[in-house]
Structure 1
C-alpha cells in the first residue's frame, strides 16, 4: 500500500505543470480510494472522477471583493443579519449572533474588519454566497470526493504524509488551547491566517487541514433529503478537544444559508 501511495503521488505531481496556472493543481482522471473503514458518514470505497483543477489556496477576501465590486452582490449575512461569530470566553460549540457581521467584518464590526487581511480566506459567507461567486467567476465548488482526493494526496489514513496529531500545527491553523475560554495566539493567529502561511500537502494544496472549513458540493448518505451544505477540512476554531475535524475524512454539515467566521471555500475548474 505504501508503494502504491508513492506511485500515485508521483503520478499526480507529473500533472502539476500541465495545469497552466500555478495557483491551480491538476488532479488527473482515475479511480481513487476515499473514506475510511468503519467511518459512518464516509465509508471506505473506490470512486472514479474526471480530471479537474483545484485551487492551491482558499479563496481570499481580495478575490471575493472583486466579485462584489463587479456585481453589487449582497451576501446573505448582510440581508438576513444572521451571521454567527466567535470571541474567546465562550463555552465549547457556542457562537454569538452578530447583526453587524458579514464578509467585510467576519467577527462583527466591534472586532475589526479585513482592511489589512485581504490575503486571508473570505468568511462570513453562506453556501449560497459561495455558489454565486462561482457562477460569476466561471468556476465551481469541489465535490466532496474531489476535495478528499486532493486533500489526502494519496494517503490511506486521515492525514497526508508527515502529518500526525503532534505535527499538525506545521500544516494547519487550528486552535491550540485546551478550550475556548481563553484566547489562543500560539501559532501567531487567533482567527484566520493569510492563505499559504503553513506547509502545503504533498500536492501543493495549502490549508486543507485548517484555517477555514471549505464548502463542497454534493451530499452524503445520511442527509435524509433535508437542505444541507457540507464543508470539509478544519478551521482556526477547531481544537483537539472540540470539533477535531482537521483531517481528510470527516464531513461537516451546515444550513446552506448560515454564515460563520470560520467557513469559506476553494474553487475548482473542469479540465
Structure 2
C-alpha cells in the first residue's frame, strides 16, 4: 500500500486512525507545564524485560506502508541493551501516579479530548461535534483518562486496561515519577518484533495464524460497524493477547504508544544515507522555541483498536505515525523503558 486516504486531511488533523492533532486539547506552547513539577523518582525496573544488545533491520520490508510515513528504506540499527515494560501503563498505575503527585493531564486542563464516535458516553451538550477531517472522532467535554468515553464513563471496570487520553507530555511526567523513560522509536520496534527480523507482526507475517485473533484491531466495516470478533470495541486488558518472544504484550493494536523521538518522515532515508549501521538512534529535537514543545510532532507506534486494512494498516511493527506532544485521544497510551546499566 503506497497511499493514505487520510493524506488529504487538513494540516491540523493527525493521521486518520490517530488522534486529531492539537484539535481536542486546545493550544500549544503553554508554559510552564505541570510535568516540570513532578518529582524525579528513583530508577525502577519493575515490570520490565531486558532486550539484549544487538542489531536488526528497521523499517517496512514488505511494501505495506504509506509513503508519507517514512517507513523505508529498511536499514540496519544497532542497539545497546535496554529494558522495556512488558505491557502498557494501566489505568491503575496511572491512578497511583496521580494520587502521589496531584498531576493534572493535558486533557483535564483543557476540559476535553477526542473520543471515537461509537464509544461516546456523554450528554448532547458535552459532545462538541465531529473533528474536521476525521468525522469518526468527537471532541467531548469531560473526556480524560478517568472518563475515557466522556463524563458518563469511568475506569472502574478498566483497571487493567491501558490508560488513554494521555499526551506525550503526560507520559513524560509519569516516566519521570516512575524512574523510567519513554522508549526510543528504534527500541520500541526491536522490542515489538520479539526477535522476528523483517516480520510484519510480532508473531510472523500472517495476521490470523490458525484463524485466531492475535491483536485488538477493528473488525467489520470501518467506522460504522464493528463485528467485535475479538470481543473489544475499544481497549482490551494490557495482557489480553499472547506476548511475543521477548515477553511483551499487545505491541500492535489496542492503543498507540508514544515514543521519545520527534517525528521526521525523512529519518530513515537520512540514516540509510550514512551507510554504516546506526547506533542507538534518536531523532533530533530540531529547533524548538522555549515553551513551544507542545507543537512538535512525536512518534507513535503500534496502531490501535481502530486500525483496519480498509484505510489504516498501521498495526504492523514497522508502521509509524505521529501526533503533537500535547494531543490526546481515547486510543493513545504508552509504555516505559530504561537503560540496562
Q: What is the distance in 1 between the residues matched to 2:241 and 2:309? A: 18
Q: Is the 8 A contact 2:263 2:322 kept in 1?
A: no
Equivalent residue runs for 1:211-222 within 5 Å: 211-222=254-265
Counterpart pick for 1:27 among 51, 54, 68:
51
Equivalent residue runs for 1:61-72 within 5 Å: 61-72=91-102
Q: Is the 8 A contact 1:142 1:217 kept in 2?
A: yes
Q: Is the 8 A contact 2:201 2:207 kept in 1?
A: no
Counterpart pick for 1:177 among 213, 220, 229:
220
Q: Is the 8 A contact 2:207 2:214 kept in 1?
A: no
Gaps of 5+ in 2: 1-43, 120-129, 268-285, 287-294
Q: Assess, with a 3 A threshold, how the Cα gap between structure 1 residues 223 and 92 changes in structure 2: closer, same or farther.
A: same
1:255 aligns with 2:311: no
DSSP-derived class of the 1:132 partner: helix
Q: What is the distance in 1 between the residues matched to 2:186 and 2:56? A: 9
Counterpart pick for 1:116 among 157, 173, 189:
157
* Corresponding residue pairs, total: 251
Q: What is the distance in 1 between the residues matched to 2:45 and 2:105? A: 29
DSSP-derived class of the 1:253 partner: strand
Higher relative contact order (CA 8 A, sep 6+): 2
Q: What is the distance in 1 between the residues matched to 2:76 and 2:135? A: 34
Cα RMSD, aligned residues only: 2.4
Q: After the TM superposition, which of the residue ranges 22-31 and 192-201 deviates more from structure 2?
A: 22-31
Partner residue in 2 for 1:137? 178
Q: Is the 8 A contact 2:258 2:301 kept in 1?
A: yes
Q: Assess, with a 3 A threshold, how the Cα gap between structure 1 residues 145 and 75 changes in structure 2: closer, same or farther.
A: same
Q: TM-score, normalised by structure 2?
A: 0.68
Q: What is the distance in 1 between the residues matched to 2:87 and 2:219? A: 22
For residues 130-159 of structure 1, the C-alpha deviation after alignment (integer angstroms, 9 at most, x for no partner) is 001011111011100000001012221322
Equivalent residue runs for 1:238-253 within 5 Å: 238-253=307-322
DSSP-derived class of the 1:109 partner: coil
What displacement does 1:93 show? 5.9
Q: Assess, with a 3 A threshold, how the Cα gap between structure 1 residues 258 and 31 changes in structure 2: closer, same or farther.
A: same
1:156 aligns with 2:198: yes
Q: Assess, with a 3 A threshold, how the Cα gap between structure 1 residues 86 and 222 changes in structure 2: closer, same or farther.
A: same
Q: What is the distance in 2 between the residues matched to 1:34 and 1:182? A: 34
For residues 216-243 of structure 1, the C-alpha deviation after alignment (integer angstroms, 9 at most, x for no partner) is 1113432795711111012111112132
Q: Which is richer in strand?
A: 2
DSSP-derived class of the 1:146 partner: helix
What displacement does 1:32 show? 2.2
Partner residue in 2 for 1:81? 111
What displacement does 1:199 show? 1.5
DSSP-derived class of the 2:141 partner: coil
Gaps of 5+ in 1: 1-19
